[in-house]
């Protein structure tokens, strides 16, 4: 057993919080809230140390921690965690979003408080687990476990049709992941190990070789699980229900982190383990991604409900991420990862915004608003920034991600220029539906009496939104800092994919 690494510390902190909440008696709701917030802030602080200790010149895993967990005689399953350039921003995104989600719940969740915060911390624990796990068993465990707290969060604290949304979310995503389970088992049986780096090494050295068709089947088994999570068109139908019915914090977590588990899965597992299949399927996935971009934008435009609009816009944004990843070059993948983070921040911010509006008016219909700027100037100003960031205005974070992705897809060897052209169309559409929404809700005359005396942001809300604003500008203006961390890992991944694809072509 090696020394306990920082990754394990970050990973286990939320679990410590869970146990504290479960077993300490006589906690008041007030203590529960603050305790949870503090635990999540400590976790965030610890994850910042991850950044500090991260060596950007190393491509492989860092701060690794492993020990044998299950030894069946034939196969060893390990507790194996670590971060590299692909996962570090995902971990940071999780630890960044969680305190905000908790903060926004402070004044809005009054029922079954303790259960709520236990579930929040469980959720954080499981999500970090997904991003740091390097053993397929461990990964699958947390992949599935994330469903449980979200099921309860939607089902207990959600809106009117929460039960339907919760069960649909659970069954839909579970159906996909179980096929992945079989692929994992198959791969583990063949490789004699469930550890991802070892499997990749065996594949590269030729010790374990998959036939082209096997590789494709496995790609699909993993891919469907991830595609449902992303969600890619046409597997997206759980998303609007879950996002709209979930409580604000639930939507923020769903959009902010859960969806990234899907895109992360593609980068972490599908590309390095099945490079040939990735090349083969790249154009098809890109087609779906582009359809998703345009479809998501189109449907967003037609929504009357702000929350639904934001939900459908996620489909569009995640289409960009997928397009970038399957450009299969450095720019595309780096852009994809960063855009994942951006989407977490911007869309997370939009959901927070919608939540605050809903708290005041108990409706999310755009037609119920108009001229809000005059009643709530601070709120509206911040919203404008977030809306612009989501649209991809230069200088803000969304632009950097989308631009890099388009750069990647335009220069891609596997995708034709058509994809880039249609995706760029998506950016225009995004501007249309976002500005249309902003116009209806915030601009114009303040003509409805109910809206005239809406209070502006309180302290909690302000502190929830400020970190988002900071990140919007930080990524927008200092993108190279963020790309630096990914460089080595992504470069190695791309080399590896093109090398195996070359080898396959030469065969």
Q: Under the rule (CB under 8 A), what is the footprint of another protein?
A: 69-74, 77, 137, 140-142, 144-145, 147-148, 151-152, 155-156, 162-163, 166-167, 170-171, 174-175, 178-179, 181-182, 185-186, 188-189
Q: Which residue, among 488, 498, 494, has the nearest Cα to 88 in the 3D structure?
A: 488
Q: Which is nearer to another protein, 160 or 447 (CB)?
A: 160
Query: What are residue 76's DSSP bridge partners?
Result: 71, 193
Is the Cβ–Cβ distance between 399 and 476 less than 8 Å? yes
Neighbours of 13 (CB within 10 A): 23
| Nearest in space to 409 (alpha carbons), one of 433, 425, 397, 431 | 425
Minimal distance in Å, beta carbon 500 to another protein?
A: 24
Between 38 and 70, CB nearer to another protein: 70
Report the relative pairing of strands 62-71 and 76-83 from DSSP bridges.
antiparallel
Nearer to another protein, 125 or 399 (CB): 125
Q: How far is it, in rounded angstroms, from Cα 228 to Cα 263? A: 10
Which C-beta is closer to another protein: that of 69 or that of 473?
A: 69
C-beta of 2 vs 111, nearer to another protein: 111
Is residue 38 a contact partner of residue 135, using CB atoms and an 8 Å limit? Answer: no
Q: In whole angstroms, how far apart are CA 53 and each of 7, 42, 84, 176?
A: 11, 17, 12, 36
Could you tell me the smallest distance in angstroms from the CB atom of residue 143 to another protein?
Answer: 8
Q: State the minimum distance, in angstroms, from the CB of residue 150 to another protein.
A: 12
CB of 72 to another protein, least distance (A): 5
User: How far apart are CB 63 and another protein at their closest, in Å?
Assistant: 23
Closer residue to another protein, CB minimum distance, 148 or 393: 148
Q: Minimum Å distance from CB 134 to another protein?
A: 17
Q: Contact at 8 Å (CB) between 210 and 203? A: yes
Task: Compute the distance between CA of residue 208 and CA of residue 203 in angstroms, rounded to an integer.
Answer: 5
Least distance from another protein to the Cβ atom of residue 334, Å: 32
83 has which bridge partners? 62
Q: How far is the CB of 109 from another protein (least distance, A)?
A: 15
Contact between residue 373 and residue 442 where contact means Cβ atoms under 8 Å apart: yes
Residue 303, both tokens: 């929504």
Cβ proximity to another protein: between 216 and 317 the closer is 216
Rounded to whole angstroms, the Cα distance separating 469 from 480 reads 18
Is 180 or 375 the residue whose CB approaches another protein more closely? Answer: 180
Q: How far is the CB of 135 from another protein (least distance, A)?
A: 13
Residues whose CB is less than 8 angstroms from the CB of residue 209 and which lie 6 or more positions away in sequence, other chains included: 203
Nearer Cβ to another protein (57/74): 74
- Determine if the peptide bond prior to 194 is cis (ω within 30°): no
């Amino acid at each position: 057993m090696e020394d306990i690494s920082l990754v394990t510390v970050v990973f286990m902190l939320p679990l410590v919080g869970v146990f504290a909440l479960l077993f300490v008696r006589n906690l008041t709701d007030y203590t529960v809230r603050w305790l949870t917030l503090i635990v999540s802030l400590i976790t965030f602080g610890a994850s910042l140390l991850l950044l500090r200790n991260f060596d950007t010149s190393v491509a492989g895993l860092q701060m690794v921690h492993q020990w044998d967990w299950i030894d069946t005689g034939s196969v060893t399953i390990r507790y194996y965690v670590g971060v590299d350039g692909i996962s570090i921003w995902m971990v940071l995104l999780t630890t960044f979003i969680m305190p905000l989600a908790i903060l926004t719940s402070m004044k809005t969740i009054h029922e079954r408080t303790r259960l709520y915060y236990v579930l929040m911390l469980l959720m954080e624990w499981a999500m970090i687990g997904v991003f740091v796990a390097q053993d397929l068993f461990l990964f699958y465990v947390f992949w599935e476990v994330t469903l449980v707290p979200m099921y309860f969060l939607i089902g207990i604290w959600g809106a009117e049709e929460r039960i339907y949304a919760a069960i649909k979310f659970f069954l839909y995503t579970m159906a996909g992941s179980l096929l992945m389970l079989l692929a994992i088992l198959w791969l583990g049986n063949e490789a004699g190990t469930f550890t991802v780096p070892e499997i990749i090494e065996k594949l590269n050295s030729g010790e374990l070789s998959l036939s082209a068709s096997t590789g494709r089947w496995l790609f699909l088994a993993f891919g469907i699980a991830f595609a449902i999570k992303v969600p890619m068109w046409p597997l997206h139908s759980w998303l609007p229900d879950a996002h709209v019915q979930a409580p604000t914090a639930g939507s923020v977590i769903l959009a902010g982190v859960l969806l990234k588990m899907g895109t992360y899965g593609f980068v972490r597992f599908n590309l390095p383990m099945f490079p040939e299949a990735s090349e083969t399927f790249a154009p098809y996935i890109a087609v779906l991604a582009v359809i998703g971009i345009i479809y998501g934008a189109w449907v967003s435009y037609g929504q009357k409900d702000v929350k639904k609009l934001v939900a459908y816009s996620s489909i569009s944004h995640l289409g960009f991420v997928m397009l970038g990843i399957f450009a299969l070059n450095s720019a595309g993948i780096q852009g994809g990862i960063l855009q994942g983070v951006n989407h977490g921040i911007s869309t997370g911010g939009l959901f927070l915004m919608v939540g605050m509006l809903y708290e005041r008016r108990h409706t999310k219909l755009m037609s119920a608003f108009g001229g809000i700027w005059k009643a709530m100037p601070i709120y509206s100003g911040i919203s404008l920034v977030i809306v612009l960031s989501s649209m991809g205005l230069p200088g803000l974070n969304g632009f950097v991600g989308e631009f890099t992705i388009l750069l990647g897809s335009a220069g891609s060897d596997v995708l034709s220029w058509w994809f880039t052209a249609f995706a760029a169309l998506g950016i225009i559409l995004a501007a249309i539906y976002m500005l249309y929404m902003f116009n209806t809700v915030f601009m114009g005359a303040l003509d409805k009496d109910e809206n005239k005396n809406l209070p502006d942001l309180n302290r909690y809300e302000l502190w929830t939104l400020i970190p988002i604003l900071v990140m919007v500008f930080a990524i927008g203006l200092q993108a190279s800092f963020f790309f630096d961390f990914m460089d080595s890992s992504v470069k190695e991944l791309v080399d590896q994919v093109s090398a195996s694809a070359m080898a396959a072509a030469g065969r």
